[in-house]
């Protein structure tokens, strides 16, 4: 099957011009001879087609190249060149006419150029027909890479549209981007670039989401108001920017994106740059050869990587913004040796167009490549006619390598390489555009992008360009609800804390001395005598030994008195405890009336007066008969009060003895001195108060549970308070006193200590005696206990008869291990079941 191809619409005018000059030259084609003139033996005539105003002093550059070739022996008597120049690049394709004139009239056998891409296609077509070598040294269209049509064409340009398109695609693919936008301007030149890029991107499976075009005369304000920047924001994060007027429009575009707020950390702008005369000069270099301030970033970073595109090695150096240029675009390694050579022929930088310096270098290299290839063919075949054989010369230049220029300081431009299609192998890089153009960065860094994780942005945000893929409604509602809940919880806690603090600071339990009247001993006896008519069993003498007071009008109270050494400032824990004591209400708990302090050098703890005195007074009053009903009632009341304390916020009693157990006028047992024992000990230890001040004849320290050197054997009814203390508490208190530290007991340990003391009290209720042998010296036993020594464990005496279950219960209450002692609830249920006391005998 024979294939037919049609020329693209953009190439039809050029093809018609080509055919016109082809027919124009046809009558003399068959009369052309290989040896053009006897005067030009061994000399190859080269026709150079330039452009008016482009590459000033280019002829001196060609003479410089020829001179160096003569010096190194590439050219000589057996092989020399002569250059004839013509100008083209006009609207009427003057370069094509010049090519026909050079061939037919001047009899040239090789072409350099034309300079303009538009004239290169028809001239390359004619050179292919004439079988003449043609070397393109400026950037040319991607169409010319088709060697089936342009069989004698060699390209030495540092940049070509197809290679930079391949490089850009490899660069994008390296960072795994899949979606890009193309930004260009309206016009034929820009449209040709887009046509070259689109198939390459498609072949690399890169989707073009938008093609955005600006007017060639667009200003910054035009770009801001035109809506195209909105399209970029809504459809892409990776943008390829290609303007026909690279310098001016690039600077304008970068300024517009900066003002529009397209963050450089979120967007990647790639600028593929092709040198196409002064109009295609570096988009980042101004007319004064300085980096333009509107297009550089102030955060220099770089990263090296490599990618393979076809048969070309593409070295990528990444930066912000991305300017894709050949590796020498931001490097003076080629410029330095070239300028030195210009100085040798009397030229300096002012004599050439620095904005188009790579055009000079490519022209210099084109002549050198032709001469080296011609010398190799001539040395191989010995036939001079082989040098002007276009197809043979093209084949000789394939995969050709020559050394680049080297300066006197040893700075080299590297190696000039041609690939399998006789096209110069470019080395493209993505350069960071910085104002410090001459700074050489040698360190290679990673994670350089100005983003939180240092990585480049993805080609499409996770939530889409417009956020359409993510619904944050529920997240916002949930987060708002959680935030409101947290704020409300914190506010409620702070409000509660504030209210508690205010309530604590108000100290409703405080009693001022002006609000109370202390009653002396004679008044107490008189009051008790009047009351004893109704309670004949009351111990008037014992009651008179206590401190009494009248609070307000008629509230009768007893109190513990302590000498105050310095003002007391309560901590939050003490304030909380005293508040809880004031709030406790239970039938079997004696109300705490309050505390007087920081007045008259005394601290008073006031409790409500109970007319029948303490349980100790009743137990050891032989005039009072205690039967089993009393036993059951007393034990039941104590367990009920103790259970309430253990379940309350106070948590424990801490000072349970027979004298901290009171009996009111209705024979109801009430516990007193609860909770405050540890606080009193701490205040004494810290020097705020002294030990309790007792009346003469009163040897019990009650709340402090501490005793002095009193002879307890003289008063059988008074058991030393230290013997009511559980052994673990007693031993620890002695050690802590020596170390001057406070012991922080858990509530479980405190409650277990209360059970130990309850066993002592119940034994006294049942037997009106102590759980120790009568032969034991209680004074000595107390002294050992105070010194922290281990003492005898309480025991049921042999002469005492008791229900076996009660015996077992007492032994459990006195167990050495706190964890083995029963709970108060178990004690209450056991005693009720055994003693059958379901209600107080004297409730009525």
The tens digit of pLDDT for each residue in 25-34 reads 443 333 333 3
Residue in the structure block whose two tokens are 């303009």: 116
User: Is 461 inside any structural domain?
Assistant: no
pLDDT value, residue 17: 46
pLDDT value, residue 33: 33
User: Is 385 inside any structural domain?
Assistant: yes
For 519-529, what is each residue's pLDDT tens digit? 887 777 777 66
User: Is 112 inside any structural domain?
Assistant: yes
Q: What angle do CA 105, 108, 112 make, to 5 degrees?
A: 125
Tell me which range, 15-24, 267-276, 471-480, is most confidently predicted by mean pLDDT.
Answer: 471-480
Q: Which of 598, 75, 690 is nearest to 387 (CA)?
A: 75
Of 196-210, 344-358, 360-374, 704-718, give the lowest mean pLDDT range: 704-718
Name the residue with higher pLDDT: 780 or 300. 780
Name the residue with higher pLDDT: 109 or 469. 109
User: Is 626 inside any structural domain?
Assistant: yes
Residue 282, pLDDT above cutoff 70: no
Non-local (6+) Cβ contacts of 322 within 8 A are: 171, 268, 269, 270, 271, 430, 431
| Residue 172 and residue 295 share a domain | yes
Residue 548, pLDDT above cutoff 50: yes
User: Is 645 inside any structural domain?
Assistant: yes
| Residue 247 and residue 149 share a domain | no
Question: Which structural domain, as residue segments, surrounds residue 297?
Answer: 161-333+427-432
Q: Based on the structure, what is the number of domains in the chain?
A: 4
| Residue 166 and residue 59 share a domain | no
| Residue 709 and residue 648 share a domain | yes
Name the residue with higher pLDDT: 29 or 506. 506
pLDDT value, residue 456: 78
What is the mean predicted confidence (pLDDT) over 280-307?
A: 43
| Residue 184 and residue 166 share a domain | yes
For 163-175, what is each residue's pLDDT tens digit? 888 888 988 988 8
pLDDT value, residue 432: 55
Write the CATH number for 642. Answer: 1.10.510.10
Q: Which of 382, 413, 432 is the last residue of a domain?
A: 432
Non-local (6+) Cβ contacts of 18 within 8 A are: 96, 121, 122, 125, 126
Name the residue with higher pLDDT: 111 or 791. 111
Query: Would you say 292 and 285 are in contact if contact means Cβ atoms under 8 Å apart?
Result: yes
| Residue 63 and residue 29 share a domain | yes
| Residue 487 and residue 528 share a domain | no
| Residue 363 and residue 301 share a domain | no
User: Is 339 inside any structural domain?
Assistant: no
Q: Which of 445, 479, 506 is the last residue of a domain?
A: 506
pLDDT value, residue 430: 62
User: Is 439 inside any structural domain?
Assistant: no
| R_g (Cα) of the chain, nearest Å | 56
Q: Which of 81, 157, 154, 92 is nearest to 124 (CA)?
A: 154
Of 87-91, 405-409, 487-491, give the lowest mean pLDDT range: 405-409
| Residue 559 and residue 704 share a domain | yes
For 200-255, what is each residue's pLDDT tens digit? 999 999 999 999 999 888 899 999 998 889 998 888 889 999 887 655 788 888 88
Write the CATH number for 200. Answer: 3.40.50.2300
| Residue 77 and residue 179 share a domain | no
What is the mean predicted confidence (pLDDT) over 656-682?
A: 92
Residue 296, pLDDT above cutoff 80: no
pLDDT value, residue 801: 83
| pLDDT band at 546; cut points 50, 70, 90 | confident
The pair of structure tokens assigned to 644 is 């309430």
Dihedral angle sign, alpha carbons of residues 695, 696, 698, 703: positive
| Residue 315 and residue 224 share a domain | yes
| Residue 291 and residue 231 share a domain | yes
| pLDDT band at 406; cut points 50, 70, 90 | low
User: Is 763 inside any structural domain?
Assistant: yes
């Amino acid at each position: 099957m024979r294939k037919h191809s049609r020329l693209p619409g953009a190439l039809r005018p050029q093809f018609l011009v080509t055919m016109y000059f082809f027919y124009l030259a046809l009558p003399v084609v068959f009369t052309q001879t290989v040896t053009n003139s006897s005067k030009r033996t061994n000399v190859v005539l080269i026709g150079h087609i330039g452009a008016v105003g482009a590459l000033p002093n280019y002829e001196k550059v060609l003479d410089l190249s020829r001179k160096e070739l003569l010096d190194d022996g590439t050219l000589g008597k057996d092989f020399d060149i002569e250059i004839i120049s013509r100008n083209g690049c006009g609207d009427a394709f003057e370069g094509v006419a010049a090519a026909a004139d050079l061939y037919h009239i001047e009899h040239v056998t090789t072409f350099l150029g034309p300079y303009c891409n538009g004239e290169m296609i028809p001239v390359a077509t004619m050179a292919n027909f004439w079988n003449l070598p043609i070397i393109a040294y400026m950037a040319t269209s991607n169409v010319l890479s088709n060697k089936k049509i342009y069989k004698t064409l060699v390209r030495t340009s540092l940049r070509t549209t197809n290679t930079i398109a391949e490089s850009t695609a490899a660069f994008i693919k390296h960072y795994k981007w899949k979606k890009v936008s193309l930004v260009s301007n309206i016009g034929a030149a820009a449209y040709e670039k887009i046509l070259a890029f689109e198939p390459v991107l498609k072949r690399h499976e890169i989707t073009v989401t938008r093609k955005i075009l600006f007017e060639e005369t667009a200003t910054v304000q035009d770009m801001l108001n035109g809506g195209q920047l909105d399209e970029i924001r809504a459809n892409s994060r990776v943008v390829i920017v290609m303007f026909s007027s690279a310098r001016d429009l690039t600077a304008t575009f970068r300024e517009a994106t900066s003002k529009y707020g397209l963050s450089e950390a979120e967007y990647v702008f790639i600028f593929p740059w092709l040198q196409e005369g002064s109009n295609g000069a570096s988009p980042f270099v101004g007319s004064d050869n300085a980096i333009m301030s509107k297009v550089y970033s102030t955060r220099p970073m770089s990263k090296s990587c490599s990618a393979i595109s076809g048969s070309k090695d593409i070295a990528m150096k990444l930066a912000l913004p991305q300017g894709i240029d050949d590796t020498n675009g931001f490097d003076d390694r080629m410029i330095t040796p070239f300028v030195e050579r210009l100085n040798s022929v009397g030229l300096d930088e002012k004599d050439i167009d620095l904005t188009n310096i790579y055009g000079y270098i490519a022209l210099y290299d084109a002549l050198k490549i032709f001469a080296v290839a011609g010398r190799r063919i001539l040395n191989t075949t010995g036939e001079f006619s082989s040098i002007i054989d276009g197809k043979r010369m093209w084949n000789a230049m394939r995969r050709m390598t020559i050394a680049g220029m080297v300066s006197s300081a040893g700075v080299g431009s590297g190696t000039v390489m041609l690939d399998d299609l006789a096209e110069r192998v470019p080395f493209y890089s993505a350069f960071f555009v910085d104002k410090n153009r001459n700074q050489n960065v040698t360190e290679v860094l990673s994670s350089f992008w100005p983003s939180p994780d240092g990585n480049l942005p993805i080609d499409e945000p996770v939530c889409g360009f417009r956020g359409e893929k993510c619904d944050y409604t529920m997240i916002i509602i949930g987060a708002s609800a959680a935030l409101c809940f947290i704020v409300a919880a914190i506010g409620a806690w702070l409000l509660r804390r504030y209210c508690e603090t205010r309530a604590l600071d108000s100290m409703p339990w405080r009693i001022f001395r002006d609000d109370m009247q202390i009653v002396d001993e004679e008044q107490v006896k008189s009051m008790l005598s009047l009351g004893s008519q109704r309670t004949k069993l009351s111990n008037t003498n014992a009651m008179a030994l206590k401190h009494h007071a009248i609070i307000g009008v008629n509230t009768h109270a007893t109190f513990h008195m302590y000498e105050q050494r310095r003002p007391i400032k309560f901590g939050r824990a003490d304030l909380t405890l005293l508040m809880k004591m004031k709030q406790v209400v239970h039938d079997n708990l004696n109300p705490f009336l309050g505390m007087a302090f920081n007045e008259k050098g005394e601290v008073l703890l006031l409790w409500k007066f109970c007319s029948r005195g303490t349980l100790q007074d009743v137990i050891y009053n032989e005039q009072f008969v205690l039967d089993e009903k009393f036993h059951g009632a007393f034990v039941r009341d104590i367990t009920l009060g103790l259970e309430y304390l253990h379940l309350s916020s106070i948590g424990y009693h801490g000072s349970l003895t027979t004298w901290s157990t009171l009996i009111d006028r209705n024979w109801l047992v009430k516990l007193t001195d609860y909770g405050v024992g540890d606080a009193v000990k701490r205040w004494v230890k810290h020097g705020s108060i002294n030990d309790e001040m007792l009346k003469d004849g009163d040897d019990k320290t009650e709340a402090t549970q501490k005793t002095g050197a009193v002879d307890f054997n003289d008063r059988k009814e008074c058991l030393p308070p230290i013997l009511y203390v559980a052994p673990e508490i007693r031993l620890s208190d002695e050690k802590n006193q020596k170390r001057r530290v406070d012991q922080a007991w858990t509530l479980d340990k405190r409650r277990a200590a209360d059970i130990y003391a309850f066993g002592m009290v119940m034994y006294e209720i049942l037997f009106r005696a102590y759980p120790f042998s009568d032969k034991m010296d209680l004074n000595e036993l107390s002294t050992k206990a105070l010194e922290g020594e281990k003492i005898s464990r309480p025991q049921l005496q042999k002469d005492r008869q008791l229900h076996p279950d009660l015996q077992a219960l007492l032994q459990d209450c006195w167990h050495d291990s706190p964890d083995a002692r029963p709970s108060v609830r178990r004690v209450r249920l056991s005693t009720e079941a055994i003693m059958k006391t379901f209600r107080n005998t004297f409730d009525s």
